[in-house]
């Protein structure tokens, strides 16, 4: 009997006929990427925004149905105002470009998160992007912006309680399915795969309800260095997992 089991070869071939429906990514590591190059953190965010463009386009090209990305968390307001402004500025730039080429790309965009603390201009751009792309059939990109999983659950609970008070719902009507309809992700299937670059091994308040049964993939690569090849590695790894959902 062999006592030594060789480590499983890292799978590298993706079966593009059987992709997961929904991939979610925590776009982390921008600051460290910049620091390693002696650059300000904001340069890392600019590089990270480029990576997002590349990955979103690739997801559309390979025919992925849903891509969710963590762009700014409810906890990220703890950062210096200068850094927050830079991130919001990059987002504005991205949305203006996205709107300009929307007809060609046909990417459907949604925002998960409370947009009310954003500047009216940025909030308007987010809503406009959602509205224009509402009927598009390319990949659906969900940008989690001022998103926090706990915040989302509290909002959902409040909204359901309000419906009960209005007489539109009764507590016994609440099921996992009806509760899901109160989340930002209403109507979107749960992520199959959650990817976190940058070497951190945590979810940082990202989609706790939706990712309850997601496969997790961690890599040390920092987000600005993340590439199509890295995504392929994650997809190939995912395709070798056995998802049991509690069964056998």
Active-site residues, by number, are 28, 76
Q: What tokens does 126 get?
A: 């987010």
Q: Name the helix (H) or strand (E) containing 229.
A: helix 228-238
Smallest gap from residue 181 Cβ to ligand IPE (A): 25
Asked if 105 touches Mg ion (CB under 5 A), the answer is no
**Interaction with ligand IPE in 32-91: which residues (CB under 6 A)?**
32, 70-73, 76, 87
Kindly tell me which of 28 and 215 has the beta carbon lying closer to Mg ion. 28
Q: Name the helix (H) or strand (E) containing 140.
A: strand 140-147
Asked if 29 touches ligand IPE (CB under 6 A), the answer is yes
| Torsions phi, psi for 22 (to 5 deg) | -135, 120
Kindly tell me which of 44 and 113 has the beta carbon lying closer to Mg ion. 44
Comparing C-alpha atoms, which of 196, 206, 204 is closest to residue 231? 196
- In order, the DSSP letters of 82-102 are HHHHHHHHHHHHHHHHHHHTH
Kindly tell me which of 30 and 68 has the beta carbon lying closer to ligand IPE. 30
Stretch that binds ligand IPE, among 6-14, 174-182, 194-202, 225-233 (CB under 6 A): 194-202
The β-bridge partners of 217 are: 195
Kindly tell me which of 71 and 214 has the beta carbon lying closer to ligand IPE. 71
Interface with ligand IPE: number of residues (CB under 6 A): 17
The listed partner (Mg ion, ligand IPE, none) that binds 27, CB under 5 to 8 Å by sort, is ligand IPE
Contact 77, 84 (CB under 8 A): yes
Contact 237, 11 (CB under 8 A): yes
Q: Which of 14, 19, 23, 26 binds ligand IPE (CB under 6 A)?
A: 26
Q: Which of 28, 105, 192, 230 binds Mg ion (CB under 5 A)?
A: 28
Asked if 198 touches ligand IPE (CB under 6 A), the answer is yes
Q: How open is the CA angle 158-184-81, to the nearest 5 degrees?
A: 95
Strand 66-73 and strand 193-196: the pairing is unpaired
Which residues contribute to the site for ligand IPE (CB under 6 A)?
26-32, 70-73, 76, 87, 198, 200, 202, 204
């Amino acid at each position: 009997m062999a006592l030594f089991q060789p480590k499983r070869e890292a799978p590298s071939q993706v079966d593009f006929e059987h992709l997961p429906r929904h991939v979610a990514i925590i776009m982390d590591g921008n600051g460290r990427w910049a620091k390693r190059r002696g650059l300000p953190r904001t340069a890392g965010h600019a590089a990270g925004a480029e990576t997002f463009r590349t990955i979103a386009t690739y997801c559309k090209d390979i025919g992925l149905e849903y891509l969710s990305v963590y762009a700014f968390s409810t906890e990220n307001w703890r950062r210096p105002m200068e850094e927050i402004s830079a991130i919001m500025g990059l987002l504005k730039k991205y949305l203006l470009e996205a709107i300009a080429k929307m007809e060609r790309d046909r990417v459907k965009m949604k925002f998960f998160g409370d947009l009310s603390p954003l500047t009216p201009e940025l909030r308007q751009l987010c809503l406009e992007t959602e509205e224009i792309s509402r009927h598009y059939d390319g990949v659906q990109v969900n940008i989690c912006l001022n998103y926090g999983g706990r915040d989302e659950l509290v909002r959902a609970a409040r909204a359901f309680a309000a419906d009960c008070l209005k007489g539109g719902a009764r507590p016994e009507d609440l099921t996992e399915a009806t509760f899901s309809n109160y989340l930002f992700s209403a109507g979107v299937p749960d992520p199959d795969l959650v990817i976190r670059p940058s070497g951190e091994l945590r979810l940082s308040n990202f989609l706790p309800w939706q990712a309850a049964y997601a496969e997790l993939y961690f890599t040390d690569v920092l987000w600005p260095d993340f590439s199509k090849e890295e995504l392929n590695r994650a997809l190939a790894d995912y395709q070798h997992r056995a998802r049991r959902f509690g069964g056998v």
